[in-house]
């Protein structure tokens, strides 16, 4: 169902970032092409190499860092080998110097897991101050799924709730957060939905592509 679907996976600086590795692995195992974009804070919690290892694709962390772009200068034609040795598929083509626009052109579906209070606020307010927020700003017309995760006090903050409502109005689909044990030890709402549940939500979106209910899917 998700076979060959080009999924841009955004990972932000929530403690649940390690679970996004399992999500990336499940998506890749299901045949999806997964490209990961991590925020600087996400990289403090889990290493980009983990995502690179499970997806077989380069991980993007910066609008500017040239090392991020070394794997992206490639040819999308199927007869051309991947630029990155061992890559399972071709990375997004690097167009005219801007990684974020190349990623937007490439992606059919955008997933952010975990989605921090910070990225939710940035998307809702059109703030573009790093690669992920800039890419998401340019991706607004694509199908998007967010898996928020944060401390319950943060989730219940009226500003966060207002931003969540704005995101829903903008067409973002949200899964979770769910009630459960949080990193701080409390049992409350704020836990990221489990990777298998996020996968199911993605499969549902993909099946809507296949039934023609969504137009964005490329073949
Ligand atoms: C150990 C640790 C865990 C954190 N977990 C979360 C979290 O689950 N959700 C959240 O919204 N912020 C969390 N934060 C705070 C964010 O990392 C912080 O707001 C940061 O600015 C988010 O940046 P980003 O959205 O660009 O990744 C955590 C911070 C630390 C130090």
Mean pLDDT across the stretch 8-26?
Answer: 97
Q: What are the pocket residues of ligand 1 if the criterion is a CB atom closer than 6 Å to any ligand atom?
A: 12-16, 39, 41-42, 114, 116-119, 149-150, 154
Q: How far is CA 213 from the centre of its chain?
A: 22
Distances in Å between the alpha carbon of 137 and those of 67, 123, 133?
A: 23, 7, 6
Q: How far apart are CA 198 and CA 19, in angstroms?
A: 11
* Interval between CA 154 and ligand 1 midpoint (Å): 10
Greater confidence, 123 or 81?
123
Token pair recorded at residue 48: 């980009």
Mean pLDDT across the stretch 12-29?
Answer: 97
Look up 139 and say whether it is catalytic: no
Superfamily of domain 6-210 in the CATH hierarchy: Flavin prenyltransferase-like (3.40.50.1950)
Q: What is the mean pLDDT of the chain?
A: 86
φ and ψ of 15, to 5 deg: -60, -20
Tens of pLDDT, residue by residue over 111-134, are 999 999 999 999 999 999 999 999
* Interval between CA 92 and ligand 1 midpoint (Å): 28
Mean pLDDT across the stretch 37-49?
Answer: 96
State what percent of residues in the chain have pLDDT above 70: 81
Q: Which residues, 6+ apart, have CB-to-CB distance to 218 below 8 Å? A: 6, 108
- Do the beta carbons of residue 36 and residue 51 sit within 8 Å? yes
* pTM for the model: 0.89
Q: How far apart are CA 45 and CA 27, in angstroms?
A: 21
């Amino acid at each position: 169902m998700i076979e060959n679907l080009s999924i841009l996976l955004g990972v932000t600086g929530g403690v649940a970032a390690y679970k996004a590795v399992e999500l990336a692995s499940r998506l890749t195992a299901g045949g999806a092409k997964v490209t990961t974009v991590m925020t600087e804070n996400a990289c403090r919690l889990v290493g980009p190499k983990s995502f690179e290892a499970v997806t077989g694709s380069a991980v993007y962390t910066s609008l500017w860092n040239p090392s991020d772009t070394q794997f992206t200068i490639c040819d999308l034609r199927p007869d051309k080998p991947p630029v990155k040795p061992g890559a399972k598929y071709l990375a997004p083509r690097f167009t005219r110097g801007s990684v974020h626009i190349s990623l937007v052109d490439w992606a059919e579906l955008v997933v952010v897991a975990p989605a921090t209070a910070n990225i939710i606020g940035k998307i809702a307010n059109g703030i573009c101050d790093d690669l992920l927020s800039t890419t998401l700003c340019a991706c607004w017309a694509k199908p998007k799924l967010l898996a928020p995760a944060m401390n319950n006090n943060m989730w219940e903050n009226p500003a966060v709730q207002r931003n969540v409502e704005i995101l829903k109005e903008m067409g973002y689909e949200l899964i979770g957060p769910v009630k459960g044990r949080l990193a701080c030890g409390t049992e409350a709402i704020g836990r990221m939905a489990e990777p298998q549940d996020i996968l199911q939500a993605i499969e549902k979106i993909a099946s809507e592509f296949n039934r023609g209910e969504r137009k964005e899917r490329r073949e």
